[in-house]
Amino acid sequence: MEAYVLDWLNLLARWLHFVVGIAWIGSSFYFIWLDNHLEAPSRSEDDERGVGGELWSVHGGGFYHAQKYRVAPKTLPATLHWFKWEAYTTWLSGMFLLVLVYWYGAEVYLIDPAVAALTPTTAVAIAAALIVGGWLVYDLLCRSPLGRNESFLSGVLFLLVTLLAWGVCELFGGRGAYIHFGAVLGTIMVANVFFVIIPGQRQMVAAAERGEAPDPAPGLRAKQRSVHNTYFTLPVLFAMTSNHFAMTYGHEWNWLILVAISLAGALIRVYFVARHKGDASMLPAAVAVILLLGVAVAIAPRQPAAGSLGAASFDEVRQVVLTRCTNCHAAEPSHPAFPAPPGGVILETDAQILAEADRIHQQTVVSRVMPIGNLTNITEEERAIIDRWYQAREGEQ
């Protein structure tokens, strides 16, 4: 019953996380787009009122006229809409999921003894320290003199993000490493909203309410963090969905794959932001495509030399699967962590094993992510049995 309740909590939290994440990212992308498409006000009276840019658009059968003030209007409107709870709810639901799946279930989803012999308590403590420490280091860098040189700051941040990717992959199982990489970046994004963007906006609103000219500095700091957030977005989205792609997090060079795909995502955002500003250069997008193609080629499965492996019988494979896989992949799993077979995959009969041959080989031999956390202690000899059987089977087809 406990596993069933956890599954429902997982379902509801994941659904909430997905919905509010769309709302946050959607509004963030829209305002970046809006800011980069503003034109000088067409009417002189708007310019005199402090309007710095405007944009006309049509959507859903209606016309919209958006204006942005250089600092603030002389008189604030009675209703002022804020955009913050989308970000806060995304982080809160995401952290709930992280605790529920990866911390409460650390022995299954976070720790891999083949990577590092950590206790659940130690692993969770390290994970929490990385999330908090990531924000502190990032914030100190932005507030330092380095923060005034955006190009140099970007280079330092990329080096630190690379170090983070390598570090989490040296500490945790691949799946847990990727999600914690995303959690660090996601926390930085939300902390930017909570500690910098919203307080800066509150200062500007308070000054306007007092009839004073708002200090533009908080707005400039908020703009810097908002731009950083937009470049972090696609890497975080990849990390959120990476648990579906064992070929990446289960690879020997998983940290480098994570860096390459994250960089590709950031470059795709660079391209779109530049395009909003009228820059037609395809270079960032082209580099992103080259990176993704390079990763795809580099991690493609390699076929062994013909005749280098002796065939294994299906009887041998059946024994391995029934011993190491079926306690989770059964109609009624015997492992307490799984109320239902993961991914809906059942491996109880010969027909089911044969039907899932490709997936069994991919997960146990190529990516080596199954059994997850090696809970059933599959041996290298048993992985080799699956590989020899699969290669011989492929050769016959």
Are residues 26 and 90 located together in one domain of the fold?
yes
What CA–CA distance (Å, rounded) separates 311 from 303?
Answer: 14
Same domain, 32 and 118: yes
Domain boundary, last residue among 262, 296, 326? 262
**Same domain, residue pair 120 and 49:** no
pLDDT in tens, 319-335: 999 999 998 999 988 87
- In angstroms, the CA 123 to CA 170 distance is 12
83 and 64, same structural domain? no
Residue with tokens 């011993």: 323
**Rounded Cα distance, 392 and 385, in Å:** 11
In a domain, 287, yes or no: no
The answer on 227 and 355 residing in a single domain is: no
* Residue 273: inside a domain: no
Domain assignment present for 94: yes
Which domain-ending residue is among 242, 262, 282?
A: 262
244 and 342 housed in the same domain: no
Whether residue 337 lies inside any domain: the answer is yes
User: What type of residue sits at position 254?
Assistant: N
How many helices, marked H, and strands, marked E, lie in the chain?
16, 2
3-state secondary structure of 116: coil
Domain count, the chain: 3
Residue 295 covered by a domain = no
Specify whether the CB–CB gap between 110 and 103 falls below 8 A.
Answer: yes
The answer as to whether 297 is a domain residue is no
Does 44 share its domain with 21? no
Q: Are residues 60 and 201 in the same domain?
A: no
Structural domain boundaries, residue 326:
314-396
Contact 180, 171 (CB under 8 A): no
Please state whether the peptide bond connecting residue 371 to the residue before it is cis, i.e. omega within 30 degrees of 0: yes
Same domain, 176 and 319: no
In a domain, 258, yes or no: yes
Cα gap 81→90, rounded to integer Å: 19
Q: Is residue 298 part of a domain?
A: no
* E strand segments, the chain: 51-59, 62-69
C-alpha distances in angstroms, 71 versus 42, 76, 134, 195? 18, 12, 32, 20
Residues 101 and 219 both lie in one domain: yes
Handedness of CA 316, 319, 324, 329 (dihedral sign): positive
Q: Specify the pTM.
A: 0.88
**Co-location of 43 and 123 in the same domain:** no
What distances in angstroms separate CA 151 from CA 64, 144, 193, one per listed residue? 35, 14, 22
Looking at the structure, tell me whether residues 95 and 157 fall in a common domain. yes
User: At which residue do the structure tokens 């409107």 appear?
Assistant: 77
Please list the pLDDT of the chain residue by residue as tens digits (397 residues): 677 888 899 999 999 999 999 999 999 999 999 999 999 999 999 999 999 999 999 999 999 999 999 888 888 898 999 999 999 999 999 999 999 999 999 998 999 998 999 999 999 999 999 999 999 999 999 999 999 999 999 999 999 999 999 999 999 999 999 999 999 999 999 999 999 999 999 998 898 888 887 888 888 899 899 999 999 999 999 999 999 999 999 999 999 999 999 999 999 999 999 998 888 899 999 999 999 999 999 998 776 554 455 788 999 999 999 999 998 999 988 877 788 888 889 999 999 999 999 999 989 988 888 888 788 889 999 999 999 999 888 776 6
- The tens digit of pLDDT for each residue in 162-189 reads 999 999 999 999 999 999 999 999 999 9
